[in-house]
Amino acid sequence: MALPRKRRPGFILLFGSRNIISDENTPPVQTTCPRCGQPAQIVGRTYRTWFTIFFLPVFPMSGSRRFSQCSLCHAQFPVPVEDLRRGLANNEQQQNQQAITLYNSLRASPANSITLNQLMLMYASMNEYAQAISAANDFPEALAASEQCMSTLGRVYLANEQRPQAIEWFDKALARNSSLGEAHYYKAVAHLTNTPPDYGAAVASARQARNANFANADALLREAETKDRGE
Ligand SMILES: [Zn+2]
């Protein structure tokens, strides 16, 4: 009978590498995260690759690399947080300048619906919903002449979570043009998200949006129908 072979005491060094992430002292940027779409803090962070023995970092193998990270969804963006801040500030300044130009052009021709629509869309893209609404109030002639402006105003109210006002403006837009798919679509969204929601009305509006071939109306209709059935 063979004797069980004696195992020699072994000693294995486990080498490896590991990325170590650390927070930066730079203040975070408050903005809408491009990944999750939520208003979030984007924080500055750095990472460095370390040489490890037994999983313990011994010395750094790379310089620090900086990135920024959404504090809600943790998406990482390969830019230092100050670059992000500077980019946002520049963008905001440009948009403000453009808004002033549009405003001045509307003062010169207050019935120009196309300009009013652009101005509202610009404010909405900056999340300045109150500004978009006051622009609509300032140029009632341009608003009254265009179902597109009415529908845009409805979308602004919807984004600002003022759903009854949103529905009112979608209805005004549809009174001028009953085949405006956008107004049907967002009216369905308003009914779906209203408190309390009105699933039956959402189904009817989503169906009209689909008949007008509005993008994604099919998916919205299916969702509204599912909710209407109480599933
Ligand atoms: Zn995010």
* Residuewise pLDDT in 10s, the chain (231 residues): 455 555 555 677 788 898 889 888 889 999 888 888 888 999 999 999 999 988 888 899 988 899 999 999 999 999 999 999 998 899 889 988 999 999 999 999 999 999 999 999 999 988 899 999 999 999 999 999 999 999 999 999 999 999 999 999 999 999 999 999 999 999 999 999 999 999 999 999 999 999 999 999 999 999 999 999 997
Residues 6+ apart with CB under 8 A from 160: 129, 130, 133
117 occurs within a structural domain:
no
Alpha-carbon distance of 157 to 124, in angstroms, equals 10
102 occurs within a structural domain:
no
Looking at residue 6, its pLDDT comes to: 58
Ligand 1 centroid, distance to 33 Cα (angstroms): 5
71 occurs within a structural domain:
yes
Ligand 1 centroid, distance to 35 Cα (angstroms): 5
173 occurs within a structural domain:
yes
Alpha-carbon distance of 143 to 151, in angstroms, equals 10
pTM above 0.75, yes or no: no
Find the length of the chain.
231
130 occurs within a structural domain:
no
Looking at residue 7, its pLDDT comes to: 58
180 occurs within a structural domain:
yes
Chain-centroid distance, C-alpha 218: 22
Closest CA to 29 of 84, 79, 78: 84
Ligand 1 centroid, distance to 68 Cα (angstroms): 11
- Cα–Cα separations (whole angstroms), residue 58 to 5, 47, 50, 65, 152: 36, 15, 7, 18, 59
Alpha-carbon distance of 151 to 167, in angstroms, equals 9
Looking at residue 4, its pLDDT comes to: 56
- The residue among 24, 59, 79 that closes a domain is 79
How many domains does the chain fold into? 2
Ligand 1 centroid, distance to 38 Cα (angstroms): 6
Residue span of the structural domain in which 42 resides: 16-79
Please state the φ and ψ torsions of residue 94, each to the nearest 5 degrees: -60, -45
Looking at residue 9, its pLDDT comes to: 59
223 occurs within a structural domain:
yes
Ligand 1 centroid, distance to 70 Cα (angstroms): 5
Enter the DSSP assignment of 17.
Answer: E
Ligand 1 centroid, distance to 66 Cα (angstroms): 18
191 occurs within a structural domain:
yes
Please state the φ and ψ torsions of residue 179, each to the nearest 5 degrees: -105, 25
- The residue among 79, 99, 120 that closes a domain is 79
Looking at residue 108, its pLDDT comes to: 97
- Ranges of H-type helices in the chain: 81-108, 113-125, 129-138, 140-144, 147-159, 163-176, 181-193, 199-211, 217-228
Contact 194, 187 (CB under 8 A): no
Ligand 1 centroid, distance to 108 Cα (angstroms): 41
Looking at residue 10, its pLDDT comes to: 66
CATH code of residue 220: 1.25.40.10
